[in-house]
Structure 1
Amino acid sequence: MTAPKQIKLTLIRSLAKRLPKHQACVRGLGLSRMHQSRIVAATPENMGMVNKVSYMLRIEEVA
């Protein structure tokens, strides 16, 4: 069994004045502050949250 791909997410826009569901997605991905980065598995659940708030994130694949 292969491990899921990893992606690095960086919050590049503020959570202030965003929809509550978008704020919840960002927090669910483990991000809480501007310019904070987190490496997460590219599971369907995480990718759904990433797609919803992609305008606030910088997304990079981790080798």
Structure 2
Amino acid sequence: MSKIKITQVKSSIKRSQKQKATLIALGLRGIGKSVEKEVNDQIQGMVDKVSHLVKVEEV
């Protein structure tokens, strides 16, 4: 499996509760914070839901 690096680039202020919960589930708690995750269907789905708030890079 490949890994991706997910970095939050926009604030979660004025976003829906679902989007905020998705960011927290990914481990992102603020602008500039990054996490590395293994790519699977669940992670890819979460990234798709908040794609306008994060930057994704392949590791």
Which residue of structure 2 aligns with residue 60 of structure 1?
57
Counterpart residue number, 1:28: 25
Aligned-residue RMSD, C-alpha: 0.6
Q: Which structure 1 residue ranges, 4+ long, deviate > 3 Å from structure 2?
A: none
The equivalent residue for 2:9 is 12
- TM-score, with length taken from structure 2: 0.96
Q: Structure 1-normalised TM-score?
A: 0.90
User: Unmatched 5+ residue regions in structure 2?
Assistant: none
Give the percent of matched residue pairs that are identical in Structure 1 and Structure 2.
36
Name the larger-Rg structure.
Answer: 1
